[in-house]
Structure 1
Amino acid sequence: MYNSKTDPIEHINHFNQRIVHSKNEALMCKVFSSSLGPVAMRWFDGLREVSISSFKELTRAFRAWFVTCSKVPWPLDSLLSMTIRERGTLKTYSDRYWEIFNEFDGDFDDVAIRTFKVGLPTEHDLRKSLTKKSIRSVRRLMDCINEHKRVEED
């Protein structure tokens, strides 16, 4: 159910995943309206008759109306500004880091590895370890992080 507070594109994508695409445009438009919450339903009810001639037009109008709810992607350089905070834990830093990193679309493994390492203090054991090892995948980086988190927690 679209609550008028989340990203409209995500809602359309989820809707398309739940509903088998139909060639019947009118049916798709009717079914789409059943996925709308009260505010979005008022928008839908306010559409002029025969103003929408396809499901594509409907979703375009939906995205345009709820554009202020669209998720703004993080700039890639936001990873460069992340650092482990003073007295912060590796767990807190890595949780925050991966939360932002997971918002990016694309293959940025090399950027993730470099920026994560740079965000650690030069004296941090994990940074020293990552400098000595040649890590080439995020999976391997996460394994190293988890090893050091276990040591930190003990």
Structure 2
Amino acid sequence: MYNGRMDLVEHVNHFNQRMVVHSKNEALMCMVFPSSLGPVAMRWFDGLEEGSISSFQELTRAFRARFVTCSRVPCPLDFLLSMVMREGETLKMYLDRYWEMFNKIDVNFDDVAIRTFKVSLLAEHDLRKFLTRKLAKSIRQLMDRIDEYKRVEEDQ
């Protein structure tokens, strides 16, 4: 349900994904789309002049134009580069913050993200030392190394 606060591009993409088997049926796509709208967007839809929309592409273009202020703006890489583990912050708290910020960055900067993650840990943190010995070449590998570290920590 589009509530007016979520990213509208994401909403349209999810709708398209759910309707992929019907994507060639423009009329059906236009008729079903309103069922994915919350109250605010539904009022907008109900206010459209009859016959003013002739295709699903036109409908989504009008939708995006009306709710453009609700679009998610990707975070610049600087946000990730400025992250540091705070004194007294648990590894779990830091990981949650880090991955949340990482997911808000749309461009693929895996190599920078891996290095940033490591250097932003407290200098004396054992995970930082562990990642220095066991270099990661991808985000997936970094996550695997972190999981490996956590398993070793739990066993001690």
The residue number in structure 2 matching 1:148 is: 149
2:111 counterpart letter in structure 1: D
| Equivalent-residue separation in structure 2 for 1:79 and 1:152 (angstroms) | 28
| Counterpart secondary structure, 1:79 | helix
Displacement after TM superposition at 1:3 (Å): 1.8
2:8 counterpart letter in structure 1: P
Displacement after TM superposition at 1:153 (Å): 9.6
The residue number in structure 2 matching 1:105 is: 106
| Equivalent-residue separation in structure 2 for 1:92 and 1:22 (angstroms) | 42
2:39 counterpart letter in structure 1: P
The residue number in structure 2 matching 1:53 is: 54
Q: CA RMSD in A?
A: 2.1
The answer to which structure has the higher helix fraction is 2
Q: Is 1:114 aligned to residue 109 of structure 2?
A: no
Q: How many corresponding residue pairs?
A: 154
Give % identity: 72
The residue number in structure 2 matching 1:12 is: 12
Which 4+ residue blocks in structure 1 deviate beyond 6 angstroms?
Answer: none
Displacement after TM superposition at 1:152 (Å): 7.3
The residue number in structure 2 matching 1:91 is: 92
Using the size of structure 1 for normalisation, the TM-score is 0.87
Displacement after TM superposition at 1:83 (Å): 0.7
| Counterpart secondary structure, 1:116 | helix
Q: Is 1:79 aligned to residue 92 of structure 2?
A: no
Q: Unaligned regions of 5+ residues in structure 1, if any? A: none
| Equivalent-residue separation in structure 2 for 1:81 and 1:152 (angstroms) | 29
Q: Unaligned regions of 5+ residues in structure 2, if any? A: none
Contact 2:74 2:106 in 1 (8 A): no
Contact 1:91 1:149 in 2 (8 A): no
